[in-house]
Chains A and B, each alone.
Chain A
């Protein structure tokens, strides 16, 4: 079974994000880049499916500039068989729909039985791609998946997601799109052998033209990024305890309207 895993490279969760001078992007200097953690669940699940079935191919895909190769190399170190890097300045301003079209074009070329996404990227938190790609392909999509089991004949899948107070289990025919939720698995660390083997695996570079698409101007663009206003300073209520408590209760009730 061939499984395609689209991944996104995002700033490390520990990054202190600053808005860039043009207020439309974040300052990228000094950022450590990682694979979006939900996408790591997706890579891990794809590897487990392949291992369980004893055969198959896991292909990691990403769209982005040169630095994205490092994230793809990490997927290869984890165990993905090969990678595809859609690297074209024409995608520099891509919105989610443009990205979805590019990924759908890759998926049409590769014809996998399964595309596993993370449920959302942890930088912009859009969470739109799995549904948009599924829509473009006419495939079913299963969101926020916590568990999955593929039928022995590889024709269908049962997948469950957590809903309030329980698990909702779906059945869908393959091919389909899955979006991984935290809890689906515990992603492995690459082994040293995996890291050494990653160098020998292929990362194929694709341009928009290779996918037969000409990116259109984005329909969705960032108008403006704003930093959150700094928190107002706290207030210390001093003095006699009885009066301070009375003042605290009054302030909570009348000023903060918290009680």
Chain B
């Protein structure tokens, strides 16, 4: 038996260590010769490549963000593609927990079992010059993922200039001025040194980066029930670790970058209103295009219920 897992996360990172612990739990229930291999650092390709390698059976699992997960099930975009929708991790957790059974069912129908849900921090804007209002960014060229066609259309229609690139092009492009603004998590900005060239961070929680550890249903069905249980348990534990620890590491990343010259700009309430107005303009364009209408409405309903209940 073998379990081969791919991820973009760097070797020895928090995510890699959690995957190793999942592997230990899996191996403990297996006999001699069981092979558990993690391919970190994107050595099996980008997130879409890993989704492909799972489909042909070369990998049995992968730890992916929504960029890769939506290759399997597009409705997952609801958790990561709606700007300024979530105000806190509590809200993300609540909505995700409510949607989880249905979402995991959808993944199962597509041939994948979700073992753990994780996240990797909020997307913020890193730019070369100071920018705090939505209009400040109109003169800038934005990084967008090459595959996200719909998002590029939306940005163009609002007067922004998206430049579709791959993740690996971000650093050279911002250095040459091909792009001047990058939406990214602080953890990513620190790891890739983007903040050296783009030392201004707008402190808003634009959107959370959400991810999951999935394995193919084919490999899951071949496991004895004891192994499945052990894997479920280890997955739940790893997911909890990835969520709590990742949030902590994000704060540490901002502190570390501030020490090395990062300028953090917190929008005033009026500026925040401008951003919210922009987001309100975006939602109808996202609904039915980037996020299926049904899922979109579900997320809004859940959030409304959560906010009403809290009051």
Pair from one complex? no
Residues on A close to B: CB < 8 A?
none
